[in-house]
Amino acid sequence: MKKFFQAFGKFASSWTGTIIIVLFLIFFVAQSFVIPSGSMKRTQLIGDFLFAKKFSYGIPTPHLPWL
């Protein structure tokens, strides 16, 4: 049983670091988007994939509508 918990601890710690890095990249650096409708039909087609950089817009400030 001890080997199981040691193996699970190694597995969880490796995934924890990966998840933290991916979430940091998505929230602050870049994110992918898909064009869902034809509203931008002259420039992009429905189903096109876009990759947008977020750091050019600055650090996002949280907005709480109830405060």
Residues 46-63: pLDDT tens digits? 888 888 888 777 766 777
Residue 67 lies in a domain: no
- 1 within domain boundaries: no
Residue 49 domain flag: yes
Question: Does residue 11 lie in a domain region?
Answer: no
Domain that residue 29 falls in: 19-57
Question: pLDDT (tens digit, 9 = 90+) per residue, 6-47?
Answer: 888 888 888 888 888 888 888 888 888 888 887 777 888 888
Confidence of residue 67 (pLDDT cuts 50, 70, 90): low
Give me the number of domains the chain comprises. Answer: 1
- CB-hemisphere CA count at 13 Å for 50? 12
Residue 25 lies in a domain: yes
In this predicted structure, what is the pLDDT of residue 34? 87
In this prediction the pTM is 0.54
Tokens 């405060």 belong to residue: 67
**Within a domain: residue 13?**
no
